[in-house]
Amino acid sequence: MKQNISLNSKELTTILINVLLVKLFFVFPKKLITNSGNAAWLQFIYLAIISVLAFFLLLACQKKCTTKNIIELSEK
């Protein structure tokens, strides 16, 4: 039995935000302190800018593929 699973733009946006926030809260603080010490806040600003750019790039790619859902795209 095949189920038709589809995600709309709002759901994909919330998934992307959740992925970034989980990484931000659980992984980055320890790695930032061990890598940079007192200058961790500079590295955090640099990584935040890169994350925002990657987020908007992913949203732009998702808007171009609005006819297919994320499950169909991942199968290809």
Q: Is pTM, for the whole model, over 0.85?
A: no
Over the stretch 27-51, which tens digit does the pLDDT of each residue have? 777 777 787 778 878 887 888 898 8
C-alpha 20/C-alpha 2 separation (Å) is 31
C-alpha 52/C-alpha 56 separation (Å) is 6
C-alpha 9/C-alpha 17 separation (Å) is 12
Identify whether the C-beta of residue 13 lies closer than 8 Å to the C-beta of residue 66. no
Amino acid (one-letter) located at 54: A
User: In the numeric block, which tokens belong to residue 27?
Assistant: 């992984």
